[in-house]
Amino acid sequence: MDRRQLLQCMLAGTLGAVAGCSRKIDAATPADLARLDCIAQSDLVVSGALSAGELTAAAIDRINAVNPKLNAVIYQDPERAMARAATAKGPLAGVPYLIKDLNAYRDMPLTRGSKLFAELVADSQTPFTDRIDDTGLVVIGKTNTPEFGLLPSTEPLLHGATRNPWNLDHTPGGSSGGAAAAVAARLVPAAQASDGGGSIRIPASQCGLVGLKPSIGRFPDQGHGDQPWPISVKHALTLSVRDSALLLALTETTRNGQLLPVGFVEREKTQPLKIALSLTTIAGNADDDVVAAIQRTAEQLDALGHTIVPVEETPLQDEGFSRDFLVLWASGAYSAAEFVREKTGSPAEQTGLLEPATTSLASLFSSMPAGALDAALQGISAYQQRVFAFMDNYDAWLTPVTASAAPQIGFMAPDLDYDTLMERVTRFAAYTPTHNAAGTPAISVPAGLNAAGLPIGAQLSAPMGQEARLLQLAYQLEAAEPWADTLPPVHA
């Protein structure tokens, strides 16, 4: 069904009857309500069991009770949230939601995790964010993010570190770490996220959630028109596969005509697929517990009837891409540093407005020869074609999401020695940037807990435009070993 039909269907209260979408609802207590995903919460409003305002108020109570332990939500406006709930219309009317602080939401702060924008309040928002409002989701506040989303750990000096509800001494990942911690702790059933190098998939993996990075081009109006290469895309972190599928269907647009619409992907029987399995990147292998989790996921997929093909030589081992992506990454930091210099008349590192990691990346870029960015973009373009050629041989590709489970807070802090930080980041996040550069869709799904009780995620990717295939695989894994009822030690 298309988006208009889906909206009409849901407004009529019929989505709960769609195959694969029914769930027994027991919301007798606030704890029961916290366990429900978006669709189940919206069913309560449709059935009249709860009002939109009651759903929103319950989430505000959960945030007030649990967020002080996590520092996941860095801004909330409960009064306006309740006002929005009173007039909310749409298939998800009243379901509580949070927006990442890299995304503008009208009349809310837009700090981007940086002292540079500590006082900025957004006066507009993108059409993508308008569509979030159109679903009826009630935005309560903003979630924490590292400065400009540059690091895979959420420890901005402006707002302080967000803590992982599975272990408060550990990071929830980044850059959508605040969103992931909030959803994993059941403060909200889903939260908006974005991914420019793994920033949806990494925190999903670190917090035991579903994190889909859609294809580049799926959302041409998300507000990233100034990127030198289109690497970043917004979507959500969710408790369930069906919520990720629904939010994609409700917010996607086909205005540019590059990709056919996905629509709402229901769980259904799929044909056996040929799935590549790779464990090694240019930075080496992942930790043993991660490798064991991915191999176990491969065994599950094999038992589900798919063919698993171990592949040792892959684009993940392309040293040239690693260098080119660093140039692109550093160019964003350089732009921020130049903005500071133009506004203050002083070098950014002297103003204290940017973090050491950001100014170090900016300095790295400024030391590069003229034309370095153009050369890197040419390299990334060639790399994209190599990824396409590799993936033409398979229906999907299974890898780790990160090289380790969630590190301790401070392991990738923005004020670390630069060489140490870069060495750690490069190994930890080596599996995800490939799909930002190539534009291919990828999803992180829970793959169990390690011996320390920390989540590990499995990354599945597919050729351009094949989000439906990834969602179907995720549905199968979710049904084979349900994860939503496994709660972290810190939860609502």
Alpha helix segments (H runs only) across 20-99? 30-34, 38-47, 52-70, 78-87
Q: Are 153 and 412 in contact (CB under 8 A)?
A: yes
- Candidate list 42, 100, 114, 142, residue with the active-site label: 100
- Candidate list 42, 114, 153, 175, residue with the active-site label: 175
CA 151 to chain centre: 13
274 is an active site residue: no
Per DSSP, 453 falls in state S
Whole-angstrom distance, CA of residue 347 vs CA of residue 462: 43
Q: Are 492 and 186 in contact (CB under 8 A)?
A: yes
199 is an active site residue: yes
175 is an active site residue: yes
- Structure tokens given for 182: 């909030």
Whole-angstrom distance, CA of residue 125 vs CA of residue 103: 8
- Candidate list 42, 114, 153, 199, residue with the active-site label: 199
Helix (H), strand (E), coil (C) string for 169-223:
CECCCCCCHHHHHHHHCCCCCEEEEEECCCCCHHHHHHHCCEEEECCCCCCCCCC
3-state secondary structure of 234: strand
> What is each CA distance from 144 to 73, 109, 308, 449, in whole angstroms?
6, 11, 38, 24
Whole-angstrom distance, CA of residue 399 vs CA of residue 308: 12
Would you name the residues annotated as active-site residues?
Answer: 100, 175, 199
